[in-house]
Amino acid sequence: MAKKIKKLRLKPSARDKRRYFLVKGTNAKVKSAILEYIGVLGFAKSAYMKVNENRTQNSELRTQNRKRGFIVGSCLVKSLNDVRAALALAGIKIERVSGTLKGLRPSH
């Protein structure tokens, strides 16, 4: 008989506190703006990631975002102000910021 392997999970207190933001632009532009403003060390401290939307949102909303040129990114809460400043200096507009991916959906 095969034993079930228990999946290891992080406790909520050990997880990163992240904020998700909806940005008009490409991932390359966002990365270069952050690198230019806060540098390599700041980029690493912010832990910026582009969020893969395949699992996070329904297909209709995902295609709407792609057609309009939006991406979803995330960073640590501590560095959100630095990331906002970097994107503002590069002329990239943050449409919405949320603590959850579900909160980025447009309100009806």
Domains, the chain, ordered by start = 17-102 (3.30.70.3250)
Nearest to 22 by CA among 60, 55, 68, 59: 68
Please write the tens of the pLDDT for every residue from 93-108: 999 999 988 888 776 5
Q: What pLDDT is stored for residue 63 in this prediction? A: 62
Residue 70, classified by CB atoms within 10 Å of its CB into exposed (0-12), middle (13-18) or buried (19+), is middle
Start-to-end CA distance of the chain, whole Å, equals 51
| pLDDT given at position 9 | 86
pLDDT in tens, 36-93: 999 999 999 999 999 876 654 556 566 666 657 788 999 999 999 999 999 999 999 9
Q: Are strands 49-50 and 18-24 parallel, antiparallel or unpaired?
A: unpaired
pLDDT of residue 101: 85
| CA atoms of 71 and 30, how far apart (whole Å) | 10
